[in-house]
Structure 1
């Protein structure tokens, strides 16, 4: 006799639908149609209109033959069309490819060709580099200009000329707001394409699916502590892992997107104070911008703002400065291949009572797996055996679960290598602590090897951040005839602060082994 739970209990449309963040958006628009969805300069867009515009975009794309298997590429800043693209493109079952707006023409051309882009939507701010890229590329996508009506008068960059054959607003107006949008055929279907910034060769195209995007939307809501109608400020570029999936996340609780084209202190403080921002994300440099802002650029606000940061763990001085400025910082970790953050430093209340050094050591750790991730560990990459959870034995950080990419586009060899042994190999070196928290020690391919000794660039950067004049820094390897490689530091000083190269090197000597001290400070 067979398993009774596998008899006459088949999947059918009534009990099984593919997971996709598109359904969260539909629910938000129908449940809270008058809720403000987007703030951009003088523009205010409700969920009703955000939904209609996304449908029009999808309809206009479908009219031009865009559908499953096609790539729609965007070169956009953090503006309303970028948000509309995150929903309108997958509504046609096509795949959204977001270009990093800081790329050079050659890399953009490679991505356009590799992705076989059928449509390219370009913000006029980036018209110059895109024109150069198209001259190098083989593909000839339908080219659409976006002319931002709220482009700031004090913009650091002028608008470029129009290079497209169509205007974005006219293109959207040509669509039908009653368009019959499509669910994915399968939740494994691709929703987005993002390219990694590999250190060698051409970048790899990371393909993400609807299921992962949907689960990330739930997980972000949980780990960011988002209650109903959060207000999210776009300090994080949406081209970074689809803005860590927050364009889709905010639909879960019908939140408000506050657009931000450039990371500048005064507009950030103004947005927080004027719009009641509750959440934002960004790299440590954004924190430096905030705490080192001029007094005249700062604003007071009553709410505590949740700030999610990734990359290097924030130094204790930065965390203290952020707390004084009204921000609660959460340290995250992830990669493009994991839809953005997949690890969170879950903080324990009793750790607040630790002495300063012990507390800082806890904060320096990346943390534990997201609720939507099934496995996180540190392994020997050759044997695929877990390293001891002693906080000392270095191995490679590995992931397993539904928020890991489908694979690399048209690159089976790279995908197989990344998934060897049934785990995603991050390329990051780290340790597992006895309590199950991981801590990154370095990138396996970027580690500095000097005279046979391994130097962690993160460790050197942590020492540099303890200098009172250092606002931001980065440590890289420089070829050396004697040692093979030596560490070199690039440092940005805080406004109004001064420090010589000799002073910074002497500061590092007091904190680091001699071979780890930067040989030059630039």
Structure 2
């Protein structure tokens, strides 16, 4: 639909959220940040909008159409998200922790013609620059907001705007002729193959952002949203929270890195209201020395991997109230939520937290999810029984599904086989309509013909008072084919041994004996992705290489 063709319709683009916020409440604090030079930076919405529009005019004058972002959670990242869109360009934000050859591959695949990079990571682009010397870099120094190439580009763009009538955002692309046009390309982790570029559109991000406003409770008349950027902005575009927080005129508290003492300091002294984080990050936050119960509740959207009931109990005790969501890069992040039911108040605490840890129902901007029988011919979709027992694959349909994989028609076809998006996640469907993930298909352990959910074993182990994190993988066994092996991290100073854990597991009897880990190994840290997901592939490889002389059940 062309812009202006209907009075009662406007095309959807989240880019307008920034100029709208600045127009409503220009002096409201938009950004709080401790820079790399340790300066505290505070910017109003007026400043935020003016800087982003300056960047947009600079990019538009240069004719840039595909702009990469390689940065931590800095103000420059936020400004780039809106500035690139305002210029009518596409942003390609990627994981700065990737290897140089992976970064080179992604930026080549996305066909970027400009890269905005934090000064700390400019060196990882050396390989790309050798191959593509014509692609300019715009380096952000993350200091005072005045000096450095990124800030100079903003100033230059502001001068361009001034010379052409000082139009500000009214001269930029805050709405688009086609709302299904590409706005960002967000790349998957590529754990088993080359990363895939997931195409997000103006419309899909708009709806995903508004869904997050509702589902995470970002807006309140009597308490401004103060959102802490723990979740990497590059990960599924920060689950669209850059737009969601801006839509409610909230304050973005930017973090260069996850630092638990600093996080607790901000939670206590700045009275933060919201953040998103993976279960692993929340566990470490709860076990930090600085942890204490907060006077006001903080809403924490928990996603990226299945959490345990024990974690939710720990978080609630600190007044970190979990909002449990589930999704993929291909769904812009959260597409389901575990909705708390009043009748759960009457349940025993452990049962109540187990209910909260389910993946729940489709969010307000999505259609209801389904769980289908595995192993059927491609495109044949048959629901499992809603009995909480039969295992199947979660599938999606609707507004929050990504448009496609960039330049990969075959992968897109497989993703949407049968007219639904396939997750690859295995779950059960409960009688109340809620889904509960058991595992990724590749992480199921088959032992003596029995399917063992590694997630179920991990959640069981998390009940042990000395265990902070647990990850379970299958290892080869001559008798059973595969048996579970647990890698765990423990609280500082703990004297617990692998044999102690195995003895505890044997006597706990919450799960069947065949599901119990036959081996336990204590390590200092579990290998993780930049978004907090545990790298089970790394653990499986390590398990194959280690000798089998560890304590066994």
TM-score, length-scaled by structure 2: 0.85
Equivalences, count: 493
Aligned position for 1:450: 447
CA contact under 8 A between 2:208 and 2:240: conserved in structure 1?
Answer: yes
Say whether 1:329 aligns with 2:328.
no
2:172 corresponds to which of 181, 199, 204: 181
2: distance between equivalents of 1:75 and 1:259? 15
Q: Deviations over 1:429-463 (max 9, x none)?
A: 11111111011111113322334432211011112
1:218 corresponds to which of 210, 228, 232: 210
1: distance between equivalents of 2:487 and 2:458? 10
Q: Secondary structure at the match of 1:375?
A: coil
Q: Deviations over 1:237-288 (max 9, x none)?
A: 1111111111000122111101112222211111122222111110112222
CA contact under 8 A between 1:113 and 1:139: conserved in structure 2?
Answer: no
Aligned position for 1:279: 274
Q: Deviations over 1:86-129 (max 9, x none)?
A: 11111122111111122122211111111111111111222333
CA contact under 8 A between 1:432 and 1:439: conserved in structure 2?
Answer: yes
1: distance between equivalents of 2:234 and 2:479? 41
Say whether 1:356 aligns with 2:342.
no
CA contact under 8 A between 1:35 and 1:47: conserved in structure 2?
Answer: yes
Query: Mean alpha-carbon deviation: is it higher for 307-316 or for 344-353?
Result: 307-316
Q: Secondary structure at the match of 2:17?
A: helix
**Residue pairs, 1:284-433, within 5 angstroms:** 284-294=279-289, 297-298=290-291, 301-381=294-374, 382=376, 383-433=380-430
Say whether 1:232 aligns with 2:227.
yes
Aligned position for 1:197: 189
Q: Deviations over 1:22-59 (max 9, x none)?
A: 12222111010000000012111000110111111111
1: distance between equivalents of 2:403 and 2:348? 44
2: distance between equivalents of 1:372 and 1:21? 15
Say whether 1:521 aligns with 2:521.
yes
2: distance between equivalents of 1:467 and 1:11? 61
Cα RMSD after superposing both structures: 2.2
Q: Deviations over 1:164-211 (max 9, x none)?
A: xx8211122211354521122211011111111233220111111111
Aligned position for 1:50: 48
Q: Secondary structure at the match of 1:198?
A: coil
Shift of 1:315: 2.7
1:141 corresponds to which of 132, 135, 144: 135
Q: Relative to structure 1, is the Cα distance of residues 280 and 298 closer, same or farther in structure 2, using a 3 angstrom cutoff?
A: same
Shift of 1:359: 1.7
| Residue ranges of structure 1 left out of the alignment (5+ in a row) | 1-9, 152-165
Shift of 1:15: 2.6
CA contact under 8 A between 2:306 and 2:437: conserved in structure 1?
Answer: no
2: distance between equivalents of 1:436 and 1:103? 39
CA contact under 8 A between 2:129 and 2:135: conserved in structure 1?
Answer: no
CA contact under 8 A between 1:292 and 1:495: conserved in structure 2?
Answer: no
1:270 corresponds to which of 265, 280, 302: 265
CA contact under 8 A between 2:360 and 2:436: conserved in structure 1?
Answer: yes
Query: Mean alpha-carbon deviation: is it higher for 313-322 or for 72-81?
Result: 313-322
Aligned position for 1:65: 63
1:465 corresponds to which of 454, 459, 462: 462
2: distance between equivalents of 1:125 and 1:472? 30
Aligned position for 1:170: 152
Q: Deviations over 1:288-317 (max 9, x none)?
A: 2222111xx346643211111013443333
Q: Deviations over 1:358-399 (max 9, x none)?
A: 323312310001100023111125330111111111111011
Query: Mean alpha-carbon deviation: is it higher for 396-405 or for 195-204?
Result: 195-204
CA contact under 8 A between 2:294 and 2:318: conserved in structure 1?
Answer: no
Say whether 1:110 aligns with 2:105.
yes
Shift of 1:71: 2.0
Q: Secondary structure at the match of 2:368?
A: strand
